[in-house]
Structure 1
Amino acid sequence: MKKLIAVWSVLLLLAGGCLAAHSELGEVALGCDEPLALPADKILRISPSLVEFEHHGFLPINSDVQCYQHWEDEVAPIPLDAVKVGFERVVPTVFAGEIVRFDVYDPLYIRTIRVAISTDQFRSIEHKELRFSPLTRLYVEEKGTGRGFQLQAGEEAVVTVSSGKFQVVDSKGTHWEFGPRIYVETEPRGLIQINSFQRGTGTRFFPRYRGRFELTVAGEDVFLVINEVSLEDYLIQVVPSEMPVTWPMEALKAQAVAARTYAVAQAVYSRQGHLGFHVADSTSSQVYNNAAESARATQAILETDGEILVNADGTVSSTYFYSTSPRGLLTDLRAWQDVSQLALEGNSPWFRWKCSFTRDELVKQVTPLLPAGFGELVGVEVAERDALGRVVNLRIVGTKGEVSITGELNVRRALQPAAMQRVQDRVGHQSLLPSANFFLDVQKDSSGRLQSVHIYGGGAGHQLGMSQWGAKGLAEAGHDYLAILSTYYPDSRIITHSEQLRY
């Protein structure tokens, strides 16, 4: 690392380089009399105007930057958004203080995935404190300088940020101050245990992670924690977090392929590249390390090793998945009462559900969403559905106006029932409706005053892509994982990820 930095510094001096003040980033190495190709380096963050390399640091990007992908048999121009976070062999060419060219030597093959780790209960990706310990030996190192220390198995370090700098206390009580990025890395195949938060939906546990951690200051007193881990190791902690490991093997294999494809797509399309990661570890992406590892889940991953879904044009599919499909449009009681396809949906408890609000309960629920002068609550009605039958516009009517709640997720969040009846049981408070596929039964008294609202719904999740309970039902009916995937992603085909993808 130090050798590369030294080479980079000499090259800048020979090329007439200088240090210029960047309004947000401080000093940035700039300035060349003629284009200068820097040594290949790894991209940590990238936006349309700025890139951060692991060793070169931050460099601005010229608005007319040219980008080239070096394949085995050709060099082809690519758009800037094809230059991805995590690519390790990228040669930037600098001229007049900006990058004017990127040459990418990485094949479009995602070997590692960069995961933003959330705080307790997945509340935020911004951490104020991180406590960790290794199961073997662990190294903490500052980016660029090589300063740092080791921890032995069972020893703990505590990380905070103050005034934009890392403050780390090691197991001996020694205080270390570091710059804006540090790495936490264990021995090969070692595990890093986090002690400052827990995971798990039932039994809680302190999560253990493979790969390395990259900690980056994100404010005066907060920082991001990015777990960089191999794609297949990532899946080992995704599949059991997303699907019960007691389910049929063919359903688990379908989940493994869908999860692998989703991760590759997020890395390829790099929607979070400006923040330095590919996916989050929560339901905003796919859940990671929220359940114990399982031999059955690992078997499903190994038996589908490297398999992903691609579209007809060879681009990576967007393999969304969700809990339960209602198997049809729910717009009246007759449709809601039809449970003939329950078995095909794996006997999901969320196949049908209902809940109710009294007038007072509904007023309390929606008041924070209403403007001043709304008047008395008169009613609530479905204003619009999308092609999937989901309510995407919920109208709340008052004596002096009305308010529209738009968007599937916003509609679900607007109505938070205190209790809910499912197919075979009753559950307590829900932070949002299980799905937006529902209809309303509004009850009024003889004078037309609102009395209560009953909601009849079905399914759970956003209803895009593969139903996980449906995959279970198909597997139980004798379908293999290929048939399951073709059911939910009919326009996709499977390839082995080691096949080189192209844009």
Structure 2
Amino acid sequence: MNERRKLINWMAGVTTFIVVLLIVIVLLDREEDGVSLAAASRTVALTLESGNGILENAPETSNFDEDLSDQWYVKYMDYLYGQGYLDSGSVKADERSATSAVTYAVLSDWAKKASEEGKGEKDALLSYVDSGDRAKKAVSSENFWKFYDAFRAAVDPDRAVAEVETDLYGTPDNVDGAPAWTAYTRDGIFQFEGLYLDGYIDQKIRFLARDDEILKVEEMVSDEIVYENAWISGFSGKTVTVFIGNIQREFPVKGVLKDESEISGQIGDLYLKGGTPKRLVLKKEKITGTVLAVRDTEIEIDGYGSVPLADQFKIYRTYGVLREQQKKDILVGYHMQEFVVADGKICAALTTEKPDIDMIRVLIMTNGFKSLFHDTITLSCDSMAVLEYGDEKDAKTESIAAGETVTIKPGDSRVASGRLTFRSANEGGMITVHSLERAQGMPVYPGHMEITEESDGLLLLNEVDLEEYLKRVTPSEMPPTYELEALKAQAVCARTYAWRQIQGNAYSTYGAHVDDSTNFQVYNNTLTFDSTDTAVNETFGQLLEYNGDPIEAFYYSTSDGHGTDGSVWGADASNTPYLRAVTINNKAKKLDLTSNEAFESFIKDENTDAYDSDFPMFRWNTKTTSTILDEKIGGVGRITGLTITSRGAGGYAKTLKVVGTEGSKTFSGQSRIRSILGNVSLVYNRKDGSTSTGWDTLPSGFIYIENNGTDENQVTTFTIYGGGFGHGVGMSQNGAQGMAKQGKTCQEILKFFYDGCGLMDISEVN
């Protein structure tokens, strides 16, 4: 018996010894385990600059050999070499250096560099400077992260690096086909190059991130998580397939389901502990109806009113390729979702079918397009009309005689409980808005009207058939006397633009897609005409497409003889390759007009060959003074100089330097420059000898500025030479007219202005 007890005690002692030894080994390993220079460089680089900024500042020639160009760490180390944080003389740009542990010497260089740049507390950083025997030694992981915390505090006062707490769904370790270094979380997709995350799957973690880049995992917060409102996409009897964060996961379901019938195609909450499922709660209650508005915390659904959203509200597209969507994908005015409800809140929206885009919802602005919010709205209909209001529990209907007016003011009891609808009782009835004035006079609208009360006043919304909308956009955007082929090109552009705006859902909070002003497309400002109706009818349902997708069909009034591309708004022009910066003539040649000398010669030439060269705004000039400029520019003293310091594709003004007696300022962006230099008092001399005035902004950003000197009153005069009217991207409307007058067809016009694009039917859009 004693021998057996001795054996047991001996085994227990050995076990204890082994456990203690393992703990010691782990502790020693943790102390000695360093962080690779590659991983440390990534963390430091992303603390100093965003991922996009690192790519933009990449050297023309990498410090690394070409055979390492595809390694993830190259861009970060190249950035640090370029910024002076790494010295290629002491730290070689090779694989061995990158994969070796970061040393105290490197930390010392980083601390000195940040200190030299005046970032943060100098003493806090310099405490990490070490030029002694320890300089070449590897830094332990613990000490590196202590250094990093001090470094981040010093160089990131604006907190570009933020703390994120979220659930980790997956990594390439458990997601087939996932790109390398990709983490799927409750808060979106992140990149984690050089870090280890696989051990945190199905756990709540806290990490530091800049944009979508994880820099450091701080801790595992909990191994108990709930995948709320997940889509159950499959069930085998032993496992359930769950769609979360745009990835498919399989979990064993034995013992976690009480009811195993009708599981697939349901929404549920999956509870896990330590990565093991403990419970699956299905949510089966659904409601359907037309979406009237999408707000931050609620969705307004016809027949149900405004229903609040659950905290972890999800949207899934269940037709075609299953994928998670965003709130902006819920189109107002359409009935294509089922809404899963639990505890009086919408847990998930299921997009069950592709919408047939056949109507658009337009906010009607006040007189002069000054505001969305009306003080009074007065309506009538040319046939019997119906007024509907009240909530789903107390809906009311009033009959309105033909020609009888209805006036709504803020505080009216009929809009107190929500949306009021005014519609014709007969198909084709037209509604007059007596409280509005447009170029046509008192405007008349097809479709129906909706009125809601907001804190700033009343909103007036017109829901109308898309083709009827276009019949009132086309003559408002292009003179109806223009050639039919030009009008047809305009109709196709307007339809394509409208389709994009419907998808964009800019006014979903108010239940609309667009407004009726130049913010989008001018709608129903003028009467309809046979010519523009014909243009819309003959292009029925046609959209402009590039590689099968509807394009950004931008258009503008008049060119200066050369267009520009999508970079005019700061975007990457490669995203819209069909928008070309070329001459607006049959040569379609790309000229280099980015220097002031080249652009001056071009803009002063009134005989430039272009399809729209006969139009008055093709060339214009105006004079302004330092006194006029002072109204919008301050802080530089008396203005003495204006210089375009950089130009974009086609020569538009990209940056403007204003010099004064007490300093200077630089303004960026063509819209900003047009606004700064514009003034309602300026008189524009046009190519045909006529003049125009009253514009608060310059007609275009294609300008050259001459200093005409300072008079005895210390007033400096400038002449601005310009060309064109509008932003210069896409189709010149007057260029289209010029082409049509030369016999070009609608298709030829569109092909010229939107390179590589074709026509598709709206029903063919995926």
TM-score for the superposition, normalised by structure 2? 0.55
Instruction: Say if 1:37 and 1:390 are closer, same or farther in 2 by CA, change over 3 A.
Output: farther
- The match for 1:210 among 431, 436, 446 is 446
2:103 corresponds in structure 1 to none
Instruction: Say if 1:106 and 1:233 are closer, same or farther in 2 by CA, change over 3 A.
Output: farther
Deviation, 1:295, is 0.8
1:304-319 to 2 correspondences below 5 Å: 304-312=539-547, 314-319=548-553
Deviation, 1:211, is 0.5
2:431 corresponds in structure 1 to 192
Query: Normalized per residue, which structure has more strand?
Result: 1
1:379 touches 1:450 (CA, 8 Å); kept in 2?
no
1:160 aligns with 2:406: no
Q: CA RMSD in A?
A: 2.4
1:408 corresponds in structure 2 to 670
Instruction: Say if 1:446 and 1:296 are closer, same or farther in 2 by CA, change over 3 A.
Output: closer
SS of aligned partner of 1:421: strand
Deviation, 1:365, is 3.9
1:148-197 alpha-carbon deviations (Å, 9 max, x no partner): 423222221211113xxx35xxxxxxxx6642321111131111111112
1:23-72 alpha-carbon deviations (Å, 9 max, x no partner): xxxxxxxxxx952432211112224653222222223434544433354x
Deviation, 1:247, is 0.6
1:79 aligns with 2:325: yes
1:244-271 alpha-carbon deviations (Å, 9 max, x no partner): 1111100000001000010011111223
Percent of residue pairs identical: 29
Unpaired runs of 5+ residues, structure 1, are 1-32, 168-175
1:240 corresponds in structure 2 to 475
1:465 aligns with 2:714: no
1:477-501 alpha-carbon deviations (Å, 9 max, x no partner): 11111111111111422111122x2
- The match for 1:55 among 303, 307, 327 is 303
1:113 corresponds in structure 2 to 360
1:41 touches 1:55 (CA, 8 Å); kept in 2?
yes
CA distance in 2 between counterparts of 1:403 and 1:216 reads 44
1:288 corresponds in structure 2 to 523
- The match for 2:605 among 338, 349, 368 is 338
1:251 touches 1:471 (CA, 8 Å); kept in 2?
yes
- The match for 1:349 among 582, 591, 616 is 616
CA distance in 2 between counterparts of 1:114 and 1:233 reads 12
Instruction: Say if 1:136 and 1:106 are closer, same or farther in 2 by CA, change over 3 A.
Output: farther
1:442 touches 1:450 (CA, 8 Å); kept in 2?
no
Instruction: Say if 1:342 and 1:291 are closer, same or farther in 2 by CA, change over 3 A.
Output: farther
2:587 corresponds in structure 1 to none
- The match for 2:502 among 255, 261, 267 is 267
Deviation, 1:108, is 2.9
Unpaired runs of 5+ residues, structure 2, are 1-280, 563-592
Instruction: Say if 1:438 and 1:272 are closer, same or farther in 2 by CA, change over 3 A.
Output: same
Q: Mean Cα displacement is larger for which, 456-465 or 490-499? A: 490-499
CA distance in 2 between counterparts of 1:214 and 1:444 reads 57
1:378 touches 1:449 (CA, 8 Å); kept in 2?
no
1:366-445 to 2 correspondences below 5 Å: 366-371=630-635, 374-414=636-676, 415-416=678-679, 417-424=681-688, 425-445=690-710
Instruction: Say if 1:449 and 1:493 are closer, same or farther in 2 by CA, change over 3 A.
Output: same
Partner AA of 1:392 in structure 2: K
Deviation, 1:335, is 1.3
1:454 corresponds in structure 2 to 719
1:385 touches 1:393 (CA, 8 Å); kept in 2?
yes
Instruction: Say if 1:180 and 1:440 are closer, same or farther in 2 by CA, change over 3 A.
Output: same
SS of aligned partner of 1:498: helix
Which of the pair has the greater relative contact order for Cα pairs under 8 Å at 6+ separation? Answer: 1
1:349-373 alpha-carbon deviations (Å, 9 max, x no partner): 110010002x3xx4234334424xx
2:511 corresponds in structure 1 to 276
CA distance in 2 between counterparts of 1:325 and 1:482 reads 20
Deviation, 1:217, is 1.3
Instruction: Say if 1:464 and 1:101 are closer, same or farther in 2 by CA, change over 3 A.
Output: same
Deviation, 1:343, is 5.5
Instruction: Say if 1:446 and 1:43 are closer, same or farther in 2 by CA, change over 3 A.
Output: closer
CA distance in 1 between counterparts of 2:640 and 2:710 reads 12
1:324-354 alpha-carbon deviations (Å, 9 max, x no partner): 1111349454312333455611622110010
1:345 touches 1:473 (CA, 8 Å); kept in 2?
yes
1:393 touches 1:406 (CA, 8 Å); kept in 2?
yes
CA distance in 2 between counterparts of 1:319 and 1:86 reads 23
SS of aligned partner of 1:367: coil
1:44 corresponds in structure 2 to 292
2:496 touches 2:551 (CA, 8 Å); kept in 1?
yes
CA distance in 2 between counterparts of 1:47 and 1:408 reads 33
1:24 corresponds in structure 2 to none
CA distance in 1 between counterparts of 2:409 and 2:629 reads 38
Deviation, 1:111, is 1.1
TM-score for the superposition, normalised by structure 1? 0.83
CA distance in 2 between counterparts of 1:370 and 1:79 reads 46
1:262-289 alpha-carbon deviations (Å, 9 max, x no partner): 0011111223323321111010100000
1:90 aligns with 2:345: no
Partner AA of 1:348 in structure 2: F
1:353-368 to 2 correspondences below 5 Å: 353-357=620-624, 359=625, 362-368=626-632
**How many equivalent residue pairs?**
446
Partner AA of 1:123 in structure 2: K
CA distance in 1 between counterparts of 2:534 and 2:432 reads 24
SS of aligned partner of 2:615: coil
Q: Mean Cα displacement is larger for which, 303-312 or 52-61? A: 52-61
SS of aligned partner of 2:649: coil
Query: Normalized per residue, which structure has more helix?
Result: 2
SS of aligned partner of 2:287: coil
CA distance in 2 between counterparts of 1:70 and 1:304 reads 32
